[in-house]
Amino acid sequence: MSCFQREAEIISWLSSVIFKVFNSEEVQAWLIGSIASGSIDPKDCDVLIMLKSSCISQLVKISLIWRKEFEERFGLSLHLTRITCDEVESCELFLNSVFNKPNIEIKS
């Protein structure tokens, strides 16, 4: 399997699990890090999730299941970084540091 096929499979899986729980008005997600950069041999999978504050507890509960399923399916650790929409509004430097690096938005 090529790195592009694996990337597409990972994006598809992430989209299915994220948008099964949350709608696109509550959450946005991006694949970041080595996989988004096209690494042939990534050691993990990094995902940035921006969500409404009211969704955090639900994400915390479900993320353990996602991590386990992801590792079983892809053989990689899943690292989720979360930030609330409120935090984003007050954190331009954070956004600039993330989006000035390769990233791929995960859509429903």
The pLDDT assigned to 17 comes to 97
**Of 8, 1, 33, 4, residue with least CA distance to 106:** 8
User: To which CATH superfamily is domain 3-106 assigned?
Assistant: Beta Polymerase, domain 2 (3.30.460.10)
The pLDDT assigned to 87 comes to 82
The pLDDT assigned to 1 comes to 56
Burial of 40 (0-12, 13-18, 19+ CB in 10 A): exposed
**Of 23, 18, 32, residue with least CA distance to 63:** 18
- Averages of pLDDT over each 10 residues, the chain, 108 residues: 81 96 93 90 95 94 97 97 84 71 80
